[in-house]
């Protein structure tokens, strides 16, 4: 009992969400804080999730012809500032190397906050003809943005891990196709692996990346009423090509500026998984991303100890051979109940128990992490039933999150209802004129709410802007953001 109180969560998700989140990421042993404020250690329990995300996404982009590469993390100041417009607003967050030992560098070096400039400098040298296109490169790396807002594990840290894709095409149409293809790879990754439903759409002029013609996004909704951008994909148009001189000789013998895209998804998505699925007992990791998918716990008494351990080991071995990530927990000195609590805290989706009675009856007990439901199965049905149950868990996590997202988007027709929706931790969906001024005044009046996106799925936008009454351009979703 005493052990449990120390190790388990001491607050409920519904009572103090912030404290709950901080406790989960620490007590599930996902992270540690570090000596540099705003930086965290990714411990094996979280890094293994990132590795599974990487594997899933890497397989996808390789299938569509993308290749990985690695560019230096140091960007000369002159290069970073070459495209002045895109860096504007971001400048205060750039970290610089100015010295080597005691020697001042002749030019300071930025630690990459994103790799557009350093990559496109090379692209200009590499691309000569239409035969060199498309160029489809991706990097898995970390970036540094020296934020001064309060840090939050995974969601806002000064260094984070991500992938950044940077592609070059001969035509605007090809680049636009790429933007959408990658955005919908994110949708698939986030919905079908992370089990988090998203709204896909376009950012407004105010919220788009300054270096882009337009920005697309996938937005998720957290249980504390805040929206979280899960991934983004930009049509860069010819903006960078003109600054970095990325030109190619086309089939018609004419020299043209190339068309570009960039897209990124980061370790902040791990924070979303924690927030969306976790409960009062701790983490719940969707089976497809769980570092440990199944834990086998033998229930031991003095008698028959060896037989039970043998049987449990056999089960673990069988499941491992089917490529599941399995933990066999035969640790001495811990009660089964204590072990259950620990694996629940760490979010293992499925637990298999086997005790003396089960051995005798040739049966096993399966316990689902998400619903706590217990079923007794015949030992011979092990593989079929585990597969079924893991699939069920994956599906019902998404289903539950979908229900929450659906009821959190509320259509509003006047500004009072808009404000109420924000107050009630919902995302108002409203007719909007799309102007930056209007968005600013919404932000001022509605607790800092911004336009999360203009969903691709639109119904006719007949009527007036919820804020200024001018003719509306589209339906847009608003919300407070992380």
| Whole-angstrom distance, CA of residue 482 vs CA of residue 476 | 18
Using alpha carbons only, give the angle 10, 13, 17 rounded to the nearest 5 degrees.
Answer: 100
Binding to ligand 87F by CB under 6 A, coded x per residue (else -) over 44-83, reads ----------------------------------------
Q: Does 182 bind ligand 87F (CB under 6 A)?
A: no
| Whole-angstrom distance, CA of residue 247 vs CA of residue 392 | 51
What would the two tokens of residue 290 be?
């769980």
3-state secondary structure of 98: strand
Closest residue to ligand 87F, based on beta-carbon distance: 264
- Rg of the chain in Å (alpha carbons): 25
Write down the least CB distance from residue 436 to ligand 87F, Å: 18
Using alpha carbons only, give the angle 220, 223, 228 rounded to the nearest 5 degrees.
Answer: 30
332 within 8 A of 313, measured Cβ to Cβ: no
Q: Does 90 bind ligand 87F (CB under 6 A)?
A: yes
According to CB under 6 A, which one of 61, 161, 164, 296 is a site residue for ligand 87F? 164
Write down the least CB distance from residue 64 to ligand 87F, Å: 17
Write down the least CB distance from residue 254 to ligand 87F, Å: 29
Which range, of 85-93, 100-108, 193-201, 452-460, touches ligand 87F by CB under 6 A?
A: 85-93
Cβ-based nearer residue to ligand 87F, 46 or 163: 163
Which range, of 30-38, 261-269, 273-281, 376-384, touches ligand 87F by CB under 6 A?
A: 261-269
Write down the least CB distance from residue 73 to ligand 87F, Å: 13
According to CB under 6 A, which one of 262, 269, 394, 450 is a site residue for ligand 87F? 262
Burial of 464 (0-12, 13-18, 19+ CB in 10 A): middle
What helix, strand, coil percent values describe the chain, rounded to 5?
A: 40, 30, 35
Which among 88, 122, 99, 94 has a CA at the least distance from the CA of 110? Answer: 94
Cβ-based nearer residue to ligand 87F, 212 or 393: 212
Cβ-based nearer residue to ligand 87F, 92 or 460: 92
Residues 100-129 binding ligand 87F (CB under 6 A) are: 113-114, 116
Cβ-based nearer residue to ligand 87F, 86 or 158: 86
| Whole-angstrom distance, CA of residue 306 vs CA of residue 406 | 51
Cβ-based nearer residue to ligand 87F, 25 or 94: 94
What would the two tokens of residue 277 be?
């699925």
| Whole-angstrom distance, CA of residue 63 vs CA of residue 41 | 32
| Whole-angstrom distance, CA of residue 301 vs CA of residue 13 | 36
Q: Does 397 bind ligand 87F (CB under 6 A)?
A: no
397 within 8 A of 289, measured Cβ to Cβ: no
Which among 219, 192, 193, 210 has a CA at the least distance from the CA of 457? Answer: 219
DSSP 341-362: HHHHHTT-SEEEEE-HHHHHHT
Q: Does 93 bind ligand 87F (CB under 6 A)?
A: yes
Q: Number of residues in contact with ligand 87F, rule: CB under 6 A?
A: 15
Binding to ligand 87F by CB under 6 A, coded x per residue (else -) over 195-224, reads --------------x---------------
| Whole-angstrom distance, CA of residue 154 vs CA of residue 25 | 9
Q: Does 232 bind ligand 87F (CB under 6 A)?
A: yes
Q: Does 94 bind ligand 87F (CB under 6 A)?
A: yes
Strand partners, 219: 199, 229
Q: Does 154 bind ligand 87F (CB under 6 A)?
A: no
Cβ-based nearer residue to ligand 87F, 232 or 239: 232
Cβ-based nearer residue to ligand 87F, 217 or 467: 217
3-state secondary structure of 278: coil
What is the side-by-side strand order in the sheet with 103-111?
74-76, 103-111, 96-100
Write down the least CB distance from residue 159 to ligand 87F, Å: 12
Residues 133-152 binding ligand 87F (CB under 6 A) are: 145
According to CB under 6 A, which one of 25, 49, 53, 87 is a site residue for ligand 87F? 87
Interaction site with ligand 87F (CB under 6 A): 86-87, 90, 93-94, 113-114, 116, 145, 164, 209, 232, 262-264
């Amino acid at each position: 009992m005493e052990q449990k109180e120390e190790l388990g969560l001491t607050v409920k998700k519904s009572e103090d969400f912030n404290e709950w989140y901080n406790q989960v990421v620490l007590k599930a042993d996902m992270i540690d804080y570090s000596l540099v404020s705003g930086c965290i250690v990714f411990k094996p329990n979280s890094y293994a999730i990132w590795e599974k995300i990487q594997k899933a996404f890497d397989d996808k982009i390789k299938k569509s012809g993308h290749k990985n590469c690695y560019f230096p993390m140091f960007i000369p100041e002159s290069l970073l500032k070459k495209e002045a417009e895109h860096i504007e607003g971001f400048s205060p967050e750039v970290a610089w190397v100015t010295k080597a030992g005691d020697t001042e560098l002749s030019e300071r070096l930025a630690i990459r906050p994103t790799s557009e400039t350093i990559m496109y400098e090379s692209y200009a040298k590499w691309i000569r003809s239409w035969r060199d296109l498309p160029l489809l490169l991706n990097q898995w790396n970390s970036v540094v943005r020296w934020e001064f807002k309060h840090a939050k594990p995974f969601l806002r840290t000064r260094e984070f891990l991500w992938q950044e894709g940077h592609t070059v095409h001969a035509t605007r149409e090809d680049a636009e196709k790429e933007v959408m293809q990658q955005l919908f790879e994110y949708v698939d990754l986030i919905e079908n692996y992370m089990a988090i439903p998203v709204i896909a759409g376009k950012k407004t002029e105010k919220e788009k990346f300054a270096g882009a013609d337009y920005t697309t996004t996938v937005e998720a909704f957290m249980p504390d009423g805040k929206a979280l951008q899960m991934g983004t994909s930009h049509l860069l148009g010819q903006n960078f090509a003109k600054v970095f001189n990325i030109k190619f000789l086309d089939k018609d013998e004419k020299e043209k500026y190339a068309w570009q895209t960039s897209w990124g998804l980061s370790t902040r998505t791990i924070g979303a998984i924690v927030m969306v699925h976790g409960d009062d007992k701790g983490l719940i990791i969707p089976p497809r991303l769980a570092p440990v998918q199944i834990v086998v716990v033998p229930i031991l008494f003095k008698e028959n100890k060896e037989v039970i351990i043998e049987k449990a080991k056999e089960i673990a071995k069988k499941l491992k051979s089917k490529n599941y990530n399995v933990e066999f927990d035969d640790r001495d000195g811990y009660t089964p109940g204590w072990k259950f609590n620990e694996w629940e805290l760490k979010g293992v989706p499925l637990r298999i128990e086997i005790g003396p009675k089960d051995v005798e009856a040739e049966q096993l007990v399966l316990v689902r992490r998400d619903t706590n439901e217990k079923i007794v199965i015949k030992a011979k049905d092990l593989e079929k039933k585990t597969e079924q149950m893991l699939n069920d868990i994956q599906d019902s996590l998404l289903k539950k999150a979908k229900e929450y997202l659906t009821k959190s988007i509320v259509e509003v027709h006047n500004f009072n209802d808009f404000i109420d929706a924000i107050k009630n931790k919902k995302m108002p969906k409203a007719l909007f004129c799309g102007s930056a001024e209007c968005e600013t005044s919404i932000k001022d009046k509605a607790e800092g709410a911004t336009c999360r996106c203009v969903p691709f799925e639109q119904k006719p936008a007949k009527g007036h802007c919820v804020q200024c009454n001018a003719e509306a351009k589209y339906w847009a979703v608003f919300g407070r953001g992380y």
